[in-house]
Amino acid sequence: MIRIIESSPLQIMRILLIFLLIGSLSLQAQNKSGITGKPDTSFTNYAALQMVVKQDPTIRLAEVQSSKSKVQSFVYKTIDKRKLVVDEYAISATHKLPTLVFFHGGGWRTGHRSQHIPLAKALADRGYRVFLVEYRLSTEALYPAAMLDAQAALQWVSKRQNVGEIYVGGYSAGGQMAALLGSVQDENTYGKGVKLAGAIDIDGILAFIHPESGEGDDSKRISAATHYFGYNKVEGEAIWKEASALSHVTKGDPPVLFLNSSDERMHAGRDDFRQKMAGLGIHTEFHTFENSHHTFVLMNHWFNQVMDRMDRFMRKRLVVGTDFKTIQSAVDVARPGQEIFIKNGNYQEKVFIDSLKHHLSFVGESRDGVVLRETIARDIWRCSNPDDYGAGVLNIKGHDLSFRNMTIMNEYGFTATKDISIPCLNEAGKETTTTVQKYALPMEKGEKEGEKIVRVDGHQFAVRTMPGATRLSFEHCTIRSGGGDTVSPWDVNAGMYYLNDCLIEGGVDLYCPRGYALAENCTFVSHNTSAAIWHDGSGEVGAKTVLKNCRFLGDPGYKLGRYHREAQFYLLNCSFDKNMADAPIYQSGDRVLNWGHRVYYVDCHKDGGDFVWHKNNTSVKASDLTFKTIFGRNWKK
């Protein structure tokens, strides 16, 4: 008798549907000859080694000579008198640790959980709790038995004490099972779903029926999948597809890491799977170990690299300066929920954070010690590119990102000695109209069609964000450029930005958010006489930029701010140095505004004496404008 753990009527119905689907197939097509009732011991680590040493005699089986981990074995499921066992490896029985539930390979027919003891020990020594799972093979029971066992193991592990985030992983057939488990937890296909932080598929297929798959060729002998299902792929097509992770990709699926050998048939459907996941905004990554065998995870040549990549995927913190040489290389593999910790150093690079990257935190070792720098003039970039994605040092399309303790610097204006003219044959060098969100570069006074004047103090983004990049925060950061638009978070429709204890230095419009923005305890240093700050709130009437407890410094005669489109400024408890000009925030251009001039001051003062125009002119108090009241339900911090 199978004990089904906490199965609701709906879950039981889903399981029954699988059995009904199997029952609807022709009984003549079913092949039960593989059910021997005896273990198949043909796939062992030693047998795998004998195959690969023929090509490279230096290869050895992976070993972990010394481990601090301890192992315990438990029965997680009983079927009549048959007991299924899971082995737990961990260095601590009391501490809550990130957890990996791992399934062995062997074509769903052979293999044993003990083949991955080195993997379990190595990851346990790195701070994980690892469970190696026994499940019924096709010599004992046909599909969906193995998947019902795998789901029961997940449910059992999820109820254990001191289990942190749960990842599921596996090798070969076990990798196929792990990928499928990751894709069905929100569907309760094999039982009550478990929240997974991620899935790791080591050379397991994503689709049984696929142009890249070798499964189902029974011409010489019955294939492993035919044994597994009890039907060939023609008669059992519906079941074969039901058991493929590619058939179950949905919005609620967790991130997936693929680690692959050079044998392409062992990752059939992977690229299609990744494309589907990308369409839903779900992180996936893969790495192919060149010139490796299918059994690479068992061999010393690749074992440590596999452990490093698994560790990096499951770890909460990625370290630049140790694990990664560049910030971009860490961004490329980061998944939601991770922290990228950046050790002190000069990072001469341009960083791109694309739209699939979200819910990441970037933390520098120290504000002055971590310096991200590059030399970029927006005008040069735009004369050979269609938009601004790449015109900044830090270029962002992702959302829900935070940055702390670092310096970001665009050095063009600090190193250029004079204005230059360059050929510019695209739209940036022509008279053109554009939408607000594209922000083209219109021809300026003195320019000829087909050329662009690149000014020493022109647009120089240190931070440039694109539409869709919202809920971005910068705390304890120094952000500098030698020209205008130093910090340009530009999404007029959905933009939400928060800055705290930041120093921002630059030329005209050095801080120019679009949408909703709150800057607290920040210092602005202006090196021009046109305007220090700018705002575009034309997306909706409530959009505003709020500056609280901020300090303004600058060259003699610098003006406080301006706007070209609908805008709304609140300056609360701000101070201005003596160099600020007697010039209120003003409208630049002659655009007709629907909402009027909306600039408000509360308790703002200037060194050497106040100007009349920044006296209190609203009943709004500083306490009325907080993170919660400005961003509301759209951003919970």
The ranges assigned to domains in the chain are: 9-27+73-313, 335-373+381-409+460-632
Please tell me what DSSP assigns to residue 433: -
Which residues have C-beta within 8 Å of that of residue 616, sequence separation ≥ 6? 601, 602, 603
Question: What pLDDT score was predicted for residue 620?
Answer: 96
The residues with which 454 forms a beta bridge, in sequence order, are 420
- Residue, of 449 and 71, whose pLDDT is higher: 71
Closest CA to 163 of 208, 101, 217, 222: 101
Give buried/exposed letters for 498-511 (b at 16+ CB in 10 A, else e): bbbbbbbbbbbbbb
Closest CA to 343 of 360, 367, 361, 365: 365
User: Which stretch of 17-21, 128-132, 502-506 has the lowest confidence by average pLDDT?
Assistant: 17-21
Instruction: Decide the pairing of beta strands 451-454 and 420-423.
Output: antiparallel
**pLDDT at residue 94 tops 90:** no
Query: What's the CA gap between 351 and 369, in Å, rounded?
Result: 18
User: Which stretch of 196-210, 344-358, 363-377, 436-450 has the lowest confidence by average pLDDT?
Assistant: 436-450
Is the previous residue joined to 211 through a cis bond, with omega within 30 degrees of 0? no
Number of residues in the chain: 637
Confidence of residue 31 (pLDDT cuts 50, 70, 90): confident
Q: How distant is the alpha carbon of residue 50 from its chain centre?
A: 40
Give buried/exposed letters for 210-247 (b at 16+ CB in 10 A, else e): bebbebbeeeeeebbbbbbbbbbbebbeebbbbbbbbb
In the numeric block, which tokens belong to residue 486? 């130093």
Q: From residue 370, how far is each of 302, 356, 396, 400 by CA, in Å?
A: 33, 25, 19, 22
For 83, the 3-state DSSP assignment is strand
**pLDDT at residue 22 tops 90:** no
**pLDDT at residue 433 tops 60:** no
Question: What pLDDT score was predicted for residue 335?
Answer: 85
Question: What pLDDT score was predicted for residue 529?
Answer: 95
As a whole number, mean pLDDT of residues 69-95 equals 94
Question: What pLDDT score was predicted for residue 10?
Answer: 52
**pLDDT at residue 166 tops 70:** yes
Fold of 335-373+381-409+460-632: Pectate Lyase C-like (2.160.20)
Instruction: Report percent pLDDT > 90 for the chain.
Output: 82
Helix axis angle, 300-314 to 117-125, nearest 10°? 50
User: Which stretch of 47-51, 216-220, 419-423, 595-599 has the lowest confidence by average pLDDT?
Assistant: 216-220
Confidence of residue 250 (pLDDT cuts 50, 70, 90): very high
What is the dihedral angle through the alpha carbons of 29, 30, 36, 37, rounded to the nearest 10 degrees? 180
Question: What pLDDT score was predicted for residue 605?
Answer: 98
Under 8 Å between Cβ of 352 and 398: no
Confidence of residue 19 (pLDDT cuts 50, 70, 90): low
Query: What's the CA gap between 335 and 256, in Å, rounded?
Result: 9
Question: What pLDDT score was predicted for residue 427?
Answer: 63
Confidence of residue 93 (pLDDT cuts 50, 70, 90): confident
In the numeric block, which tokens belong to residue 588? 């630049």
Please tell me what DSSP assigns to residue 325: S
**pLDDT at residue 426 tops 80:** no
**pLDDT at residue 218 tops 90:** no
Question: What pLDDT score was predicted for residue 437?
Answer: 42
**pLDDT at residue 17 tops 90:** no
**pLDDT at residue 23 tops 70:** no
Confidence of residue 443 (pLDDT cuts 50, 70, 90): confident
User: Which stretch of 17-26, 416-425, 529-538 has the lowest confidence by average pLDDT?
Assistant: 17-26
CATH code of domain 9-27+73-313: 3.40.50.1820
In the numeric block, which tokens belong to residue 262? 């050079």
Query: What's the CA gap between 355 and 51, in Å, rounded?
Result: 44
Q: How many CA atoms lie within 13 A of 634 on its CB side?
A: 16
pTM (2 decimals)?
0.73
Which residues have C-beta within 8 Å of that of residue 356, sequence separation ≥ 6? 278, 281, 282, 283, 398
Give the tens place of pLDDT for each residue, 100-150: 999 999 999 999 999 999 999 999 999 999 999 999 999 999 999 999 999
**pLDDT at residue 5 tops 60:** no
Query: What's the CA gap between 57 and 5, in Å, rounded?
Result: 48
- Residue, of 446 and 617, whose pLDDT is higher: 617
**pLDDT at residue 436 tops 50:** no
Q: How distant is the alpha carbon of residue 325 from its chain centre?
A: 19
Which residues have C-beta within 8 Å of that of residue 304, sequence separation ≥ 6? none
Under 8 Å between Cβ of 409 and 393: yes
Query: What's the CA gap between 529 and 402, in Å, rounded?
Result: 31
In the numeric block, which tokens belong to residue 448? 């000829």
Question: What pLDDT score was predicted for residue 3?
Answer: 37
The residues with which 284 forms a beta bridge, in sequence order, are 256
The residues with which 474 forms a beta bridge, in sequence order, are 403, 499
Question: What pLDDT score was predicted for residue 13?
Answer: 55
